Amino acid sequence: MEDHLIDKTLGYACAYTPLVLLDAAGCAPYRILPMSDCPDQAGQLLHDNLCPHVKRILDRAISRDLPDLAGIVLMNSCDAMRRLADAWRRVRTNDPVILLDLPATADDAAVAYFTGELSRLNDALSAWCGHAITSTDIAASVVRYNKLPPLFSRLSERLCQGQLSGGSARMQGLYNTAMTASFDESLSTLEQAVAEAQSKTPQDNGIPVFLFGNVLADPEVLQFFESCGARIIADDLCTGSRLFTTIEFDERRDGLAQIARSLLTRTPCARTFDPAQPLKMAEDIQARAHAAGAHGVIGQTIKFCDPYLDRLPAVRETLREAGIPLLLLEGDCSLRSIEQQRTRIEAFIEMLA
Amino acid sequence: MYQYFKDMAAGIETKILQDPDLPNPRKRYALETARLGGRLYSGNDTVAWCGIAVPFDLLNAMGMTSCFVEFVGAALAATGLADPFFEEAEQAGFVGDTCGYHRAVLGAARKKVMPEPDFLIASTCPCSGGVAVMENLAHLFNKELFVLNVPQENSAQSVAYLAGQIRDMAGFVARHTGKPLDEDKLRQAVENTNQARKLMQDMYQLAQNVPSPTDGRLLINFGLVMPLFCGTEAAVEIARAYKDEFTARIQRGISGVPDEKLRLLWVQNRIQFNNPLVELLQKEYQANIVSDELNDIYWDPIDPDDPYTGMARRAISIPLNGDIQGRIKHLQKLARAYKLDGAINPCNWGCRQGTGARGLISDGLKEIGVPVLNLEVDCVDRRNFSGGQLRTRLEAFIEMLASRPQAQ
Exposed e or buried b for every residue in A6-33, given b needs 16+ CB within 10 A? bebbbbbbbbbbbbbbbbbbbbbbbbbb
B362 to chain A: closest CA residue: A45
Say what the pLDDT of residue A198 is: 75
pLDDT at residue A3 is higher than 90: no
Specify the amino acid at residue B170.
Answer: A
Give the pLDDT mean for A2-16.
80
Measure in Å the smallest separation between the Cα of B6 and chain A Cα atoms: 33
Q: In the structure, what pLDDT confidence band is assigned to residue B252 with cuts at 50, 70 and 90?
A: very high
Nearest to A90 among B132, B145, B360 (CB): B360
Closest CA to A179 of A171, A60, A37, A124: A171
**CB-based contacts of A186, cutoff 8 Å, min separation 6:** A148, A177, A178
A281 to chain B: closest CA residue: B135
Give the pLDDT mean for A308-333.
97
Give the pLDDT mean for B176-204.
98
Contact status of A39 with chain B (Cβ, < 8 Å): no
Contacts of A276 in chain B (CB under 8 A): 144-145
Say what the pLDDT of residue B407 is: 60
Exposed e or buried b for every residue in A191-216, given b needs 16+ CB within 10 A? eebbeeeeeeeeeeebbbbbbbbbbb
Contacts of B325 in chain A (CB under 8 A): 86, 89
State pLDDT tens for residues A189-247: 999 999 998 766 666 679 999 999 999 999 999 999 999 999 999 999 999 999 999 99
- Other CB atoms within a 10 A radius of the CB of residue B176 amount to 17
Measured distance CA(B125)–CA(B52) in Å, rounded: 7
Measure in Å the smallest separation between the Cα of B289 and chain A Cα atoms: 24
Confidence (pTM): 0.96
Nearest to A279 among B136, B146, B168 (CB): B136
Instruction: Give the residue from B50, B128, B376 with the most A CB atoms within 10 Å of its CB, the best one to mutate.
Output: B128
Nearest to A309 among B98, B145, B164 (CB): B98
Nearest to B164 among A79, A109, A312 (CB): A109
B138 to chain A: closest CA residue: A278
Mean per-residue pLDDT over chain B, rounded: 96
Contact A279 B157 (CB under 8 A): no
CATH code that applies to domain B2-184: 3.40.50.11890
Q: Tell me B284's DSSP state.
A: I
pLDDT at residue B286 is higher than 70: yes
Phi, psi angles (nearest 5°) of residue A172: -65, -35
pLDDT at residue A4 is higher than 50: no
Residue B21, SS3 per DSSP:
coil
Say what the pLDDT of residue B354 is: 87
- Other CB atoms within a 10 A radius of the CB of residue A283 amount to 15
Say what the pLDDT of residue A202 is: 63
- Other CB atoms within a 10 A radius of the CB of residue B283 amount to 12
Say what the pLDDT of residue A173 is: 98
Residue B369, SS3 per DSSP:
coil
Closest CA to A102 of A114, A112, A119, A84: A114
Task: Give percent above pLDDT 70 in chain B.
Answer: 99
The residue ranges of every structural domain in chain B are: 2-184
Contact status of B123 with chain A (Cβ, < 8 Å): no
- Other CB atoms within a 10 A radius of the CB of residue A251 amount to 13
Measured distance CA(B72)–CA(B47) in Å, rounded: 14
Measured distance CA(B246)–CA(B240) in Å, rounded: 10
Task: Give percent above pLDDT 90 in chain A.
Answer: 93
Contact status of B171 with chain A (Cβ, < 8 Å): no
Nearest to A316 among B93, B356, B357 (CB): B93
Measured distance CA(A203)–CA(A230) in Å, rounded: 13
- SS3 annotation, A262-325: HHHHCCCCCCCCCCCCCCHHHHHHHHHHHHHCCCEEEEEEECCCHHHHCCHHHHHHHHHHHCCC
Residue A144, SS3 per DSSP:
helix
Say what the pLDDT of residue A197 is: 81
Measure in Å the smallest separation between the Cα of B85 and chain A Cα atoms: 16
Q: Work out whether strand A207-213 and strand A296-302 pair parallel, antiparallel, or are unpaired.
A: parallel
State pLDDT tens for residues A251-297: 999 999 999 999 999 999 999 999 999 999 999 999 999 999 999 99
State pLDDT tens for residues B331-341: 999 999 999 99
Contacts of B131 in chain A (CB under 8 A): 104, 271
Q: Which residue segments constitute the domains of chain A, with CATH numbers given?
A: 3-144+251-265 (3.40.50.11890), 147-245+273-352 (3.40.50.11900)
Contacts of B164 in chain A (CB under 8 A): 109
Q: Which helix (H) or strand (E) holds A210?
A: strand A207-213
Mean per-residue pLDDT over chain A, rounded: 95
Contact status of A103 with chain B (Cβ, < 8 Å): yes
User: Which residues between 341 and 360 in chain B have a beta carbon less than 8 angstroms from any beta carbon of chain A?
Assistant: 347, 349-350, 352-353, 355-360
Measured distance CA(A335)–CA(B147) in Å, rounded: 37
Measured distance CA(A223)–CA(A228) in Å, rounded: 9
Contact status of A212 with chain B (Cβ, < 8 Å): no
Contact A85 B135 (CB under 8 A): no
Contacts of A47 in chain B (CB under 8 A): 347, 352, 355-359
Q: In the structure, what pLDDT confidence band is assigned to residue B308 with cuts at 50, 70 and 90?
A: very high
Dihedral through CA B105, CA B107, CA B109, CA B112, nearest 10? -140
- Half-sphere exposure at residue B408, Cβ-oriented, CA atoms within 13 angstroms: 6
Measure in Å the smallest separation between the Cα of A219 and chain B Cα atoms: 27
Closest CA to B373 of B260, B273, B283, B285: B285
Going from the C-alpha of B49 to that of each of A5, A50, B183, B313, the distances in angstroms are: 54, 27, 23, 22
Contact status of B30 with chain A (Cβ, < 8 Å): no
**CB-based contacts of B407, cutoff 8 Å, min separation 6:** B261, B262, B341, B401
Contact A275 B136 (CB under 8 A): no
Give the pLDDT mean for B243-249.
97
**CB-based contacts of A308, cutoff 8 Å, min separation 6:** A213, A214, A270, A301, A302
pLDDT at residue A5 is higher than 60: no
Whether B120 and B146 have beta carbons less than 8 Å apart is answered as: yes
Closest CA to B281 of B401, B402, B395, B405: B395
Contact B149 A87 (CB under 8 A): no
Measure in Å the smallest separation between the Cα of B89 and chain A Cα atoms: 10
Contact status of B131 with chain A (Cβ, < 8 Å): yes
Contact A45 B359 (CB under 8 A): yes
Region of residue B14 (phi > 0: left; psi between -120 and 50: alpha; otherwise: beta) = alpha
State pLDDT tens for residues B25-68: 999 999 999 999 999 999 999 999 999 999 999 999 999 999 99
Contact B360 A78 (CB under 8 A): no
Region of residue A26 (phi > 0: left; psi between -120 and 50: alpha; otherwise: beta) = left
User: Whats the size of chain B, residue-wise?
Assistant: 408
Instruction: Give the residue from A14, A44, A48, A49 with the most B CB atoms within 10 Å of its CB, the best one to mutate.
Output: A49
Give the pLDDT mean for B253-275.
97
Contact status of B91 with chain A (Cβ, < 8 Å): no
Measured distance CA(B26)–CA(B218) in Å, rounded: 6
Whether A211 and A300 have beta carbons less than 8 Å apart is answered as: yes
Nearest to A313 among B94, B131, B363 (CB): B94
Radius of gyration of chain B (CA): 21
Instruction: Give the residue from A44, A79, A273, A319 with the most B CB atoms within 10 Å of its CB, the best one to mutate.
Output: A79
Task: Give percent above pLDDT 90 in chain B.
Answer: 95
Measure in Å the smallest separation between the Cα of B132 and chain A Cα atoms: 6
State pLDDT tens for residues B112-161: 999 999 999 999 999 999 999 999 999 999 999 999 999 999 999 999 99
Contacts of A85 in chain B (CB under 8 A): 323
Contact A86 B325 (CB under 8 A): yes
Contact status of A233 with chain B (Cβ, < 8 Å): no
pLDDT at residue B383 is higher than 50: yes
Give the angle A298-A213-B101 at the CA atoms, nearest 5°.
Answer: 110
State pLDDT tens for residues A61-70: 999 999 999 9
